[in-house]
Amino acid sequence: MTDERQDELAKRLRGFGPLGILSNLIILSGNFLFAPLSAIFVLLWTRLSDTPWREIGYVRPRSWIRTIAVGILFGVTFKFAMKSIVMPLLGAPPVNQAYHWVAGNTAALPFMVYLMIVVAGFGEETLFRGWMFERLGKLFGSSVWAKLAIVLITAGIFAVLHYSDQGVPGAEQAAITGIILGTIFAITGRLIILMIVHAAFDLTALAMIYWDFETAVAHFFFK
């Protein structure tokens, strides 16, 4: 393919014409085959469309050690705050019944850890924060109100997709998580730390379920 044709392909992929819309639909449908295929498609789209990696939040941290440490600390603290304060105030049950089968189930741990790190940390952040923010940003612009709308839209989609397996409590938690992480991304434009936060958040939830201390955490402040 000549440089001229490559440039034309990249331009069409970045746009919202037939090819751009088709590429968006392919990305969105990827996870229906297997996760995190949508995120893999996002990386392929970014490369073929000549979209700067920075625009989907792929920015090299100034300090990997600091980023990892802060991400883990924030993710763990965030999960404990959600479980012990926010979700009880919303009337959520202390036990996540959708994943209670993991309690004490050592055989399930490798797959669950894969889900938490690869599917959630890498996959969901790349799709819902990185790619969706880039695409919606091209449509809405970069004003404060546009960014607020993008945060709410992406958090809403994130919540709806968690409803099918975790019900209302799962959707509520996903909405709040989406708003918090989306706001951070809207301000910083950096995705790596959010991947770490998301993975740490979910791994903390996994630990609570596996060692069966969800109820103790949920009742820490509210008996």
Max CA pair span of the chain: 68
Same domain, 18 and 125: no
> Which domain, by its residues, includes 21?
1-51
- Residues 210 and 103: beta-carbon distance below 8 Å: yes
pLDDT of 192 strictly over 70 = yes
pLDDT digits (tens, 9 = 90+) for 115-168: 999 999 999 999 999 999 999 999 999 999 999 999 999 999 999 999 988 999
Query: Is 187 within the bounds of a domain?
Result: yes
pLDDT of 94 strictly over 70 = yes
pLDDT digits (tens, 9 = 90+) for 168-178: 999 999 999 99
Average pLDDT along the chain:
96
Same domain, 28 and 109: no
Same domain, 135 and 194: yes
> How many domains would you assign to the chain?
2
CA distances from 101 to 95, 154, 171 (A): 11, 29, 20
Query: Is 155 within the bounds of a domain?
Result: yes
How many other CB atoms are found less than 10 A from the CB of residue 153?
16
- pLDDT for position 222: 84
Which of 51, 69, 86 marks a domain boundary? 51
pLDDT of 71 strictly over 70 = yes
Give residue 1's pLDDT band: very low, low, confident or very high (50, 70, 90).
low
